[in-house]
Amino acid sequence: MSLLAHPTRKDEAYRYADLDALKRVWSDLAAAREIVVPAGQRDSHVLLANAQAVEVHRARIVIEAGASLDLFALNGATEYGRVEVDVTVREGGHFALHAANIGGGKATQEIVTIVRHEEPNGTSRQTVRSVLAGKATGSYLGKVAVSRHAQKVDGEQSVKAMLLNRGATANCKPELEIYADDVKCAHGASVGELDPDQLFYALSRGLDPASAKALLLEGFVLQLWDEAPEDRREELVEASRALLRQVTA
């Protein structure tokens, strides 16, 4: 994909994108942000929604041998939000994505990832939670590519969406492209309603149905930030709560 030409729907990574919205900000995105985590180091990054109409984050990430990166991304633009990362994981490296789409109205929220395990013993964990109301669309397109000699790679994708209205849509497309023969890659996806056991537990403690549902919905998203760095966690929690209030109002 060229970074200069506007993307089209033929490009799989833009299949569900709001292309009109994207055009308006494309010139600001001439190149993806480059992030390199040097060998043996641990790092974390936070991509936070700033309540803009259109918000696109693009990053090309290289995780060197034995290094690890935790990426926390909250996607919540009111019209179009996109978090797009292209991650290369070198020997024994670790990548973890913790990401949420929260959208209402006619918003389109997308998380698009390519994780390239090019060397052996790498691990990746991607956890994506979407809360979609109104006529919003939330998507996760996640490709995990494992090169021929990248043995013992362990990749996991866990994707769950909660649809609050009939008009809301969730797309989930985990994709594996594996050329090595000794790897472990798992993915799970669900689109659904709140867990009835959790709901009854909360009701039995005295929460009325509306409060119980709001609390569980909050937990559904906030569990993503449990491992966020101490100094950024509160920010992620508050921003998520603000977005949830908006879409459930």
Partner 1 sequence: MLEIVNLHATVADKPILNGLTLTVPAGEVHAIMGPNGAGKSTLAYVLGGRPGYEVTGGAATFLARDLLAMEPHERAAAGLFLGFQYPVEIPGVSSMQFIRESLNAQRRARGEGELSGAEFIRLARAEAGELGMDADMLKRPVNVGFSGGEKKRAEMVQMGIMRPRLAVLDETDSGLDIDALRIVGAGINRIMRAPDRATLLITHYQRLLDVVQPDRVHVLAGGRIVRSGGPELAHELEREGYAEVA
Kindly identify the residues of this chain, within the stretch 94-123, that bind partner 1 according to CB under 8 A. Answer: none
- Residue placing its CB nearer to partner 1 in the complex, 46 or 87: 46
Q: Contacts with partner 1: how many residues (CB under 8 A)?
A: 25
- Residue placing its CB nearer to partner 1 in the complex, 75 or 78: 75
Buried b / exposed e over 31-44, threshold 16 CB at 10 Å, is ebeebebeeeeebb
- Residue placing its CB nearer to partner 1 in the complex, 181 or 226: 226
Q: Is 201 in the site for partner 1 (CB under 8 A)?
A: yes
Shortest Å distance, C-beta 138 to partner 1? 18
- Interface segment toward partner 1; rule CB under 8 A; list 111-119, 170-178, 204-212, 227-235: 204-212
Shortest Å distance, C-beta 144 to partner 1? 24
Q: Is 77 in the site for partner 1 (CB under 8 A)?
A: no
Kindly identify the residues of this chain, within the stretch 209-238, that bind partner 1 according to CB under 8 A. Answer: 209, 211-212, 215-216, 218-224, 226
- Residue placing its CB nearer to partner 1 in the complex, 218 or 235: 218
Shortest Å distance, C-beta 217 to partner 1? 9
Buried b / exposed e over 210-242, threshold 16 CB at 10 Å, is eebbbebbbebbbebbeebeeeebeebbebbee
Shortest Å distance, C-beta 36 to partner 1? 31
Shortest Å distance, C-beta 43 to partner 1? 24
Shortest Å distance, C-beta 198 to partner 1? 5
Q: What is the DSSP string of the chain?
A: --SSSPP-TTSGGGTT--HHHHHHHHGGGSSPEEEEE-TT-EEEEEE---S-SEEEEEEEEEE-TT-EEEEEEEE--SSEEEEEEEEEE-TT-EEEEEEEEEE-TT-EEEEEEEEEE-STT-EEEEEEEEEE-TT-EEEEEEEEEE-TT-TT-EEEEEEEEEE-STT-EEEEEEEEEE--SS-EEEEEEEEE---HHHHHHHHHTT--HHHHHHHHHHHHHHGGGTTS-HHHHHHHHHHHHHHHHHHH-
Q: Is 161 in the site for partner 1 (CB under 8 A)?
A: no
- Residue placing its CB nearer to partner 1 in the complex, 144 or 212: 212
Q: Which of 2, 27, 50, 204 binds partner 1 (CB under 8 A)?
A: 204
User: Given the rule CB under 8 A, which residues bind partner 1?
Assistant: 196-198, 200-209, 211-212, 215-216, 218-224, 226
